[in-house]
Amino acid sequence: MNRHIIYKEIESIAKNHNIRFDEQYLRCGRGLDCGELCVDYSVLEGYILFSYDRASRTYYYSSKDKEEFLYIVFERLCIHNGFEYELKNRKSLNIFSYELNDDTRKVAFEYSLKQLREISVGWMERTFSEYERLLNIRRTNKNVYFDKQEMIFKSK
């Protein structure tokens, strides 16, 4: 196993599931130190995902469990895609509103979860509760939940 093989596998999984694969966001080996995620492999540590920004390491994750590693990579790739989608499709921004539909993260999280579900329902299941938690942080009622049938966040 080497970083080129695992990188090509990630690229292939993304292509097979119609998930946008941004080579500027996810690189094979150390990138340009601009905050992009980089994939590597080591016999001692296994699969490695890391990033540098201006020569300082900002993120590091390693696992010998390939499926766990792939989940971590795709969770980050899908949320990256989700926020790009949200930004391109943003209708308005009301930063003073506490309404769920005014929270732009809702769109990004829904898009991300739909992409994760394309690869693995289990990955989507594993992720949505964290997005619920994030959407509920500044709400006094803590009433946001993810409707798995409709694949959208709602409030009770």
Q: What is the pLDDT of residues 34-71, one digit of tens each?
A: 668 999 999 999 999 999 888 888 999 999 999 999 99
pLDDT of residue 65: 97
pLDDT band at 130 (very low <50, low <70, confident <90, very high): very high
Please tell me the chain's helix, strand, coil percentages from 3-state DSSP, rounded to the nearest 5.
Answer: 45, 25, 30
Instruction: Give the CA radius of gyration of the chain.
Output: 17
Cα–chain-centroid distance for residue 7?
16
Its pTM surpasses 0.85 = yes
**What's the whole-number mean pLDDT along residues 97-102?**
80
Which range marks the domain in which residue 134 is found? 3-155
Between strands 34-42 and 26-28, the pairing is parallel
Domains in the chain: how many in total?
1
CB 54 within 8 A of CB 153: no
Q: Which pLDDT does position 30 carry in this prediction?
A: 78
* pLDDT tens column, 2-32: 999 999 999 999 999 999 998 878 988 876 6
